[in-house]
A = this chain, B = another copy of it.
């Protein structure tokens, strides 16, 4: 194939000329929904001409006067946590299916986040999905002030009147506590993440509430915070495993920290899971099901969460975005790191 010169794209004028209609007719032929009045035969003539020139409307020009692009911004937290990779994939697939593309914004370590966010918004994005804990409040406010639909994904900021999709973190934490109690565990450890992260707090809260209600004394619950990373979990897990009165059950508010803790407990400390310490996580990332971990954890209905988040953006409607709070149920998946007390409870056998 000879290297053809950069061919300039055909414009609506070219198509109009070829089809023998006005330029605006071309615009109408391509306007989504078929809303504007155009006769079907004309439309077909235009589309034929367009096909011949392999024309498609220039989205840049389009968004210059509509004020909306076909772009949705995704503000990402830490991609070392596989959860966010999976989230990104789902969002991208779904939005692409709706004719939208994802513009990614990774929160920079340095403080120039604000400038970069401005740049993202200046693409006249149709909506913003926030999955990062850092800066999310101010970012959300910036967007809302500009009238851009915002959805908080798995983070909840009570003071902020923004749409939000999350799962029932509190109930999930409670379910772990109940499972541990049923397993006869009497000494507990709780590994939380960032203190500002509401998800972490809610999960921890649900766990402690159930234990407290069951009469467990606060002295029997060790609580520690660590970074939401494998290494964070590793270090914290090692420390917990070494503590004087070693906990029998460890609840980590994130799968990734749970995996770090498990590796420390087994390989650094030489203890067995669940015999010496039972471990539970939260999130059910792909890795948790692996034979190396078999982590008992709370499955988040990610598919549903993504779909709800996209819905709340109200991309195709004329109506403003919905400031709705969606809370979805989680599902305790028993694997080997914390075994189900009775045979009838749900288990997962997949490798």
Among the 9-residue stretches A3-11, A172-180, A194-202, A309-317, the one with 4 or more Cβ atoms under 8 Å from chain B is A3-11
Render A1-43 as a binary contact track against B, CB cut-off 8 A, 1 for contact: 1011111010000000000000000000000000000000000
Q: Which residue of B lies closest to A6 (CB)?
A: B147
Contact A106 B92 (CB under 8 A): yes
Q: Which residue of B lies closest to A86 (CB)?
A: B79
Render A68-97 as a binary contact track against B, CB cut-off 8 A, 1 for contact: 011100101001101011101100110011
* Copies of this chain in the oligomer: 2
Contact A102 B101 (CB under 8 A): no
A83 to chain B, nearest CB (A): 10
Contact B82 A146 (CB under 8 A): no
Assess whether A215 is interfacial by the CB under 8 Å rule.
Answer: no
Render A124-148 as a binary contact track against B, CB cut-off 8 A, 1 for contact: 1000000000000000010011110
Q: Which residue of B lies closest to A293 (CB)?
A: B292
Render A39-70 as a binary contact track against B, CB cut-off 8 A, 1 for contact: 00000000000000000111111011000011
Render A330-346 as a binary contact track against B, CB cut-off 8 A, 1 for contact: 00000000000000000
Render A145-160 as a binary contact track against B, CB cut-off 8 A, 1 for contact: 1110000000000000
The residues of B that contact A245 with a CB separation of less than 8 Å are none
| CA–CA, A100 and B5, complex, Å | 26
| CA–CA, A217 and B251, complex, Å | 52
Assess whether A234 is interfacial by the CB under 8 Å rule.
Answer: yes
Assess whether A284 is interfacial by the CB under 8 Å rule.
Answer: no
Assess whether A290 is interfacial by the CB under 8 Å rule.
Answer: yes
| Contact (A89, B79) CB under 8 Å given A64-B64, A146-B7, A147-B6 | yes
Contact A101 B103 (CB under 8 A): yes
| Contact (A89, B80) CB under 8 Å given A103-B71, A264-B291, A268-B351 | yes
| CA–CA, A342 and B135, complex, Å | 49
Render A241-264 as a binary contact track against B, CB cut-off 8 A, 1 for contact: 000000000000000000100111
Contact B234 A263 (CB under 8 A): no
| CA–CA, A116 and B70, complex, Å | 12
The residues of B that contact A122 with a CB separation of less than 8 Å are 9, 56-60
Tell me the A residues contacting B by CB distance below 8 Å: 1, 3-7, 9, 56-61, 63-64, 69-71, 74, 76, 79-80, 82, 84-86, 88-89, 92-93, 96-97, 99, 101-106, 108, 116, 118-120, 122-124, 141, 144-147, 161, 230-231, 234, 259, 262-264, 266-268, 286-287, 290-293, 351
16 contacts between A and B (CB under 8 A): A60-B124, A70-B119, A74-B104, A84-B85, A89-B106, A92-B106, A93-B106, A101-B105, A101-B116, A101-B120, A102-B103, A230-B290, A263-B351, A264-B291, A266-B291, A267-B291
